[in-house]
Amino acid sequence: MSREPSQRLKSKDQISTEDDVRYFDELYQGQLDWTASTRKHLYRQMDLFHAEQVLEVGSGTGAILREIHTINPRARLFGLDRNLVALEYSQKKATDETLILGDATLLPFSSQSFDIVVCHYFLMWIEDPITTLREIMRVTRFGGWIACLAEPDYGGRLDFPDSEIWKDLLLNSLSAADPFIGRKLRTYFYQVGLKAHVGLQSVVLPSDTVNNLYEAELAKLERFISPENNIKLKKLTEFFKTHKTEELFSFMPVFYALAHRTE
């Protein structure tokens, strides 16, 4: 289920300093690695190479925009985000993108402005995904493409050896998000009048990668969980240390949705 607005986006979840922006850019780069094969497939489906104008909603530190530029350096690229610090960081790394501080539920663009509109690990942070998708559809031209490149579903995560503490703390650390957004993509697209192809990227990671993933997640939990959960985090850290790397298994379902705007 979604969190109520009053429960969303605590100050610790926001990018407000240089340290924050570097931390989140590294996090985003890791997410790009996880979803690389899916994006490659979706870019081909959308014929990204021939697109003239592309928008990323929730562009953050600009990782996706930089990737798109390498694929199609001729396209005019636009990025929109509500966080000024992230946009300033993105601007420093940008090639020729137009970056805009704005609200995804009220996009500052004319109707039918873009050949392709994408987002990546974005709807999970949005209080009103339906309004956001309606706006994304409005600014996409007829014949254009709309793609949620990746949206996770933490409710479907599997870990072995299993630890209920692990899942409990992960959900707590995602206080700003709808942790079950992935399973809802088809419904949300349908509700705004889009017929989406929804798929699941399911990657079983090798043991050394899982080990690195867990270590990174422990560090992330330490940064994001509320203080009352510190005892649980200590128990989780001890649990993790009792198992060898070769024993660990993790599966995280990450969904994508692709829709062709025909009318």
CATH number at residue 140: 3.40.50.150
Residue 150: burial class (beta carbons within 10 Å; 0-12, 13-18, 19+)? buried
* Within a domain: 93: yes
State the pLDDT at residue 243. 76
* Within a domain: 15: yes
Reference 158, options 115, 218, 203, 193; nearest CA is 203
> pTM for the whole thing?
0.86
Between 162 and 238, the higher pLDDT residue:
238
Sign of the alpha-carbon dihedral angle for 231, 254, 182, 23: positive
10 has pLDDT over 50 = no
State the pLDDT at residue 205. 61
**Burial readout 57-84 (b: 16 or more C-beta within 10 A, e: otherwise):** bbbbbbbbbbebbeebeebebbbbbebe
Summarised one tens digit per residue, pLDDT across range 84-143 is: 988 988 888 877 789 999 999 999 999 999 999 999 999 998 889 999 999 999 999 999
* Within a domain: 115: yes
pLDDT bin (cut points 50, 70, 90) of residue 9 is very low
* Within a domain: 211: no
* Within a domain: 16: yes
State the pLDDT at residue 207. 62
pLDDT bin (cut points 50, 70, 90) of residue 2 is very low
> What CA–CA distance (Å, rounded) separates 181 from 263?
26
Summarised one tens digit per residue, pLDDT across range 69-78 is: 999 999 999 9
Between 74 and 178, the higher pLDDT residue:
74
What average pLDDT score do residues 40-46 get?
96
pLDDT bin (cut points 50, 70, 90) of residue 57 is very high
State the pLDDT at residue 216. 78
State the pLDDT at residue 93. 82
Between 213 and 138, the higher pLDDT residue:
138
Q: Please name the residue that has the structure tokens 């009220």.
A: 106
* Within a domain: 96: yes
State the pLDDT at residue 209. 64
* C-alpha 123 chain-centroid distance: 7
* Within a domain: 74: yes
* Within a domain: 215: no
- The domain total for the chain is 1
Q: How many CA atoms lie within 13 A of 186 on its CB side?
A: 6
Which range of residues forms the domain containing residue 90?
5-153+178-202+253-260
Check whether the bond before 253 is cis (ω within 30° of 0): no
Q: Where are the alpha helices (DSSP H) in 62-128?
A: 63-71, 84-93
State the pLDDT at residue 175. 62
